Amino acid sequence: MFLFPPIILASKSPRRQELMKLLGLDFRVVLKEVDESYPESLSPAEVALYIAEKKAKAFDEDIANEIVITADTLVCVEGQILGKPENDEHAFEILSMLSGRKHEVMTGVCLLKDHQLHSFVETSEVYFKTLSPEQIKSYIATGQPMDKAGAYGIQEWIGLIGIERINGSYTNVVGLPTHRLYEELLKLI
């Protein structure tokens, strides 16, 4: 194991926190409210990076000798960003759009150290089988889709029964591309 400087994870996502623990990283969670709006002219990958960097910049004056990790994960179909569902009907609409087709999951990650931003975007392709309306409604009834971009978690029931294959990083689809994050952290020590 490498000894990293103190790490702050600026994310309330339990999935990201669990992945950081699985990496064996010692970190603390610190949250700041950040406006996640972005210029409409940006591509989906640029949006993920823009928001991750915006979150990191909120810490720039508050840290010393620490690394802040921020991330933003989004789901898109044919260039259209699908956010978190607003309600059950919106979740049904999103999951119906993903059913039977490929979509992309993009995570922008930003590491802030010594007032310098080190950023990257990881993209994974996810292929859903055709889901029945009953399967989608059953999953929505669990409440699980409501806090997730694209209205699903790959590690949850809908992912287990519905995802045929992925091209790219599994942990990226969960919300944090751990292999790439670890590589980037090594560059900072």
Active-site residues: which are they? 72
Q: Say how far apart CA 176 and CA 172 lie, in whole Å.
A: 5
Work out the burial of residue 109: count CB atoms within 10 Å of its CB; fewer than 13 is exposed, 13-18 middle, 19 or more buried: buried
Cα 141 to Cα 67, 117, 137, 144, distances in angstroms = 39, 40, 6, 8
Q: Say how far apart CA 183 and CA 19 lie, in whole Å.
A: 15
Torsion of CA 7, 11, 16, 17, to 10 degrees: 60
For residue 6, give the DSSP letter: P
